[in-house]
């Protein structure tokens, strides 16, 4: 038995997220199905990040076990032949059998994209949240700065979470303007359920002036979901990268 790792990019628009669902097509289901067909075994992938319905990824990570003899790096080529065009494996390779993508230290990078313009842009609408009220990027960055560091992010977590420890470390949170696009890049050691989307919704409130940047301190201190802004829509969110601190599993 060997363990193979995949770096997977997908357009989440037409999926009910990563994780297997009784009703609705998911990324995990498509990967299991295509890998089982190609390798003629019952394959079950384990994903590093179980992204929500409609969320995109450039580099989600999954592993699976197989006794097949295919060279690890060839799995990407074989899989891409038969995957639907909204899922593409970016690379593949062998990893130690003990490696579990959710049980090791990682640094995850997400990007939330806002299209801030008077009218919607149909081109790329699947990958950005359209928000027509002008946003003040500098104020958004000032608010974002309060999130960097180790904090209890309970206020930025969907109340339906089962997680008990809501302390996370944010290494970087940058708000960048590129024409009418505003991109929130956020890097951390882990993210709670809906955390990036609630942060995006709250930074938008800072950008419109509904919140002052320093209000982020109060919001964090309250440890109450109601204190933060709304959950920004899934379509603007993209899992960019997952970095593992073990060099031997970096492809």
**Catalytic residue status for 52:** yes
10 Å Cβ neighbour count for 27? 27
Q: Using CB under 8 A, pick the residue from 18, 64, 127, 244 that binds a second copy.
A: 127
Write out the binding residues for a second copy, residues 36-65 only, by CB under 8 A: 56, 58
Distance CA 13, CA 54 (A): 5
Establish if 235 lies at the interface with a second copy (CB under 8 A).
no
Q: Using CB under 8 A, pick the residue from 74, 97, 100, 120 that binds a second copy.
A: 120
Q: What are phi and psi of 249, to 5 degrees?
A: -110, 10
Establish if 184 lies at the interface with a second copy (CB under 8 A).
no
Residues 131 and 184 sit within 8 Å (Cβ to Cβ): no
Stretch touching a second copy by CB under 8 A, among 66-74, 88-96, 138-146, 217-225: 88-96
Residues 40 and 94 sit within 8 Å (Cβ to Cβ): no
Stretch touching a second copy by CB under 8 A, among 46-54, 79-87, 98-106, 180-188: 79-87
Residues 6 and 63 sit within 8 Å (Cβ to Cβ): yes
Residue of 11, 42, 52, 152 with catalytic role: 52
Establish if 73 lies at the interface with a second copy (CB under 8 A).
no
Q: Using CB under 8 A, pick the residue from 225, 232, 238, 249 that binds a second copy.
A: 238
**Selection from 46, 58, 51 nearest residue 98 by Cα:** 46
Q: Rounded to the nearest 10 degrees, what angle do helices 27-39 and 74-82 cross at?
A: 110
Establish if 220 lies at the interface with a second copy (CB under 8 A).
no
Establish if 196 lies at the interface with a second copy (CB under 8 A).
no
Nearest approach in angstroms of CB 124 to a second copy is 7
Distance CA 143, CA 132 (A): 20
The DSSP H or E segment spanning 59 is: strand 56-66
| Catalytic center residues | 52
Chain residues binding a second copy by CB under 8 A are: 9-11, 56, 58, 76, 80, 85-91, 119-125, 127, 238
């Amino acid at each position: 038995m060997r363990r193979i790792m995949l770096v997977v990019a997908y357009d989440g628009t037409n999926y009910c997220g990563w994780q297997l669902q009784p009703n609705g097509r998911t990324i995990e289901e498509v990967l299991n199905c295509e890998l089982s067909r190609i390798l003629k075994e019952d394959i079950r992938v384990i994903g590093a990040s179980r992204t929500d319905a409609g969320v995109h990824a450039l580099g989600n990570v999954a592993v699976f076990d197989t006794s097949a003899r295919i060279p690890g790096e060839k799995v990407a080529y074989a899989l891409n032949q038969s995957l639907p065009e909204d899922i593409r494996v970016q690379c593949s390779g062998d990893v130690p059998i003990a490696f579990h993508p959710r049980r090791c230290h990682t640094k995850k990078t997400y990007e939330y994209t806002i299209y801030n313009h008077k009218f919607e842009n149909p081109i790329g609408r699947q990958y950005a949240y359209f928000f027509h009220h002008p946003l003040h990027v500098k104020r958004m960055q000032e608010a974002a700065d309060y999130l960097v560091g180790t904090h209890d992010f309970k206020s930025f977590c969907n109340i339906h979470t089962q997680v008990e420890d809501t302390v996370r470390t944010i290494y970087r949170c940058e708000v960048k303007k590129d024409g009418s696009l505003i991109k929130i890049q956020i890097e951390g050691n882990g993210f709670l359920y809906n955390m990036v989307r609630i942060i995006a919704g709250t930074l938008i409130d800072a950008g419109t002036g509904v919140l002052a940047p320093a209000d982020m301190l109060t919001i964090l201190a309250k440890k109450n979901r109601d204190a933060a802004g709304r959950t920004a829509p899934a379509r603007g969110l993209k899992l960019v990268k997952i970095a593992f601190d073990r060099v031997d599993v970096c492809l």
